[in-house]
Amino acid sequence: MHDLKKKLLVIFILLCIHPIHAYESSVVNDLEVSQIKEIQENKSKLLAALLDAFPEANDVKISESIIQGLYTVSIGSQIFYMSQNGQFILQGDIYNVETGANLTEQDRISARKDFFNQLERKGDGCFCTR
């Protein structure tokens, strides 16, 4: 009988804790939604700041970088990093210390592929400038 009481007590405690986890889960989801909105707003502000600074830049892409607080900005095949508030722009390579991988070069390769894919879509058959 004593074992049964222990088991019932454990079940009761688990049932009491469950709504707390559900509440925490909804709080986490609300935080994620607000963070996503904030990121989208930041990207819009950064894009506006970039277009003001570089009006000739017509192919600007902004994404979160692997470093918190920095965004990766690609203009054509050039890669820059911009602070979250849009006040600072950095140019240089970011390396993963553990693997030695050049993360910026990976972004450059991706940007070059996108650039060449756009040329192919134009259908002019020439990759040279005119």
Q: What is the CATH number of the domain that holds 97?
A: 3.10.450.70
Q: What 8-state DSSP symbol labels residue 62?
A: E
Q: What percent of the chain has pLDDT over 90?
A: 10
In a domain, 96, yes or no: yes
Nearest to 89 by CA among 109, 65, 111: 65
Task: For residues 57 and 89, give the distance between their C-alpha atoms in angstroms, rounded to a whole number.
Answer: 15
pLDDT at residue 36 in the model: 63
Report the domain count for the chain.
1
Owning domain of residue 32:
2-122
In a domain, 130, yes or no: no
In a domain, 129, yes or no: no
Kindly state the tokens that stand for 115. Answer: 């650039």
In a domain, 41, yes or no: yes
Please, which pLDDT band fits residue 94 given cuts at 50, 70 and 90? very high
In a domain, 94, yes or no: yes
More confident residue, 67 or 12: 67
Q: Which of 4-8, 46-50, 119-123 has the highest mean pLDDT?
A: 46-50
Each residue's pLDDT tens digit, 15-71: 544 444 444 445 445 556 666 666 667 777 777 776 676 666 667 788 888 888 888
